[in-house]
Amino acid sequence: MAQHVALMRNRGYKYSSQSARLLRFDQFLQLHPALQEQPIGVMLDHWAAAKSTRNHTAECENIRRVLAKIFRHRDPSIPSRRPDSRPQKEVLKQWRKPHIYSPDDVRRMLDIARSYPSPRAPLRPQAIYTMLVLAYCAGLRRGEIARLDLGDVDLQHGTITVRQTKFFKTRILPLPDSVTAELRAYIKARRRAGAPQDPCSALFWHEQGRTRRYTPEMVTWLLVNVIRRAGLKPLQGRTGPRVHDLRHSMVVNRILQWYQTGINPQDRLPFLATYLGHRDINSTLVYITVTQDLLHLANERFRAVGAPCLNLGWEVRS
């Protein structure tokens, strides 16, 4: 398995999630040394029986597929294994529909972030506020927010550089003037708080810890706490809106604005895909959740543009 991971990374793949799955399987085998003399199929059967969750069943199927490819690569005479799509379909059944935050929801969360109680860390409320602004207005992922450095922000040109994220993409994002103003205010507050001014230092800096940088998990915890305080998510549990739904909301609300200003969203989707750091437009389409407002504006556009064409076709046939 280690050789396979090294091979895939040498070919240019990040191969992080697949490596983590293989590592979990290896850890299971280390805890069950009695299986070392058993065929690989028996090992996988025991691992599949260790948990009954849908996600674990899908992970076991993924490992079976990867190992089958490894063995077939070593010995082409081994017959190919037909993947089982049922575990992944079961996982998709429990996938939650994204929550689309309204502009009023976002304003309420921003107000709560500004007044976030943090007597021991006075910079934290403004840091959370700025994180929320970038998550919604720029559609940044939680990991992208956590990895931002001070030097990634160009206040003069109103841009922010997101480096080496998903799919090894680095992108420079132009920001609205209002977002640039919020970043400028945060950086001033950051300087007054005594944060280092080295361009390689963390943009979202705090005084505690060894790295003085918010981790992706901490970014998620803080923003989820704001969502809970806004009354949009239950006080406990994983149900309700998520932080990643801010990215979905950015896409849907942007398309709504395009419709309202008379812009054809289909012409702008390639630009939106690039802005979000997607490989292609198909990844962006996943973020388009059909809301009632979006459906209404799409129908209005069809009525204004498409309906006359249908009437013309009917007149020609008549």
Give the residue carrying structure tokens 């899908």.
Answer: 58
Cα–Cα distance list, 160 to 45, 106, 214, 237, 263 (Å): 48, 21, 18, 34, 26
In one letter, which amino acid is 63? I
Annotated catalytic, 69?
no
Given the residues 124, 141, 147, 233, select the one marked as catalytic.
141
> Residue 203: is it exposed, middle or buried by C-beta count within 10 angstroms (0-12/13-18/19+)?
buried
Residue from 54, 166, 268, 301 carrying the catalytic annotation: 166
Contact indicator for 173, 275 with CB cutoff of 8 Å: yes
How far are the Cα atoms of 87, 102, 233, 253, 254 from residue 136, in angstroms, in the given order?
A: 33, 11, 17, 10, 11
Rounded CA-CA distance 167/257 in Å is 29
Q: Is 141 noted as a catalytic residue in this protein?
A: yes
Task: Give the residue numbers marked as catalytic.
Answer: 141, 166
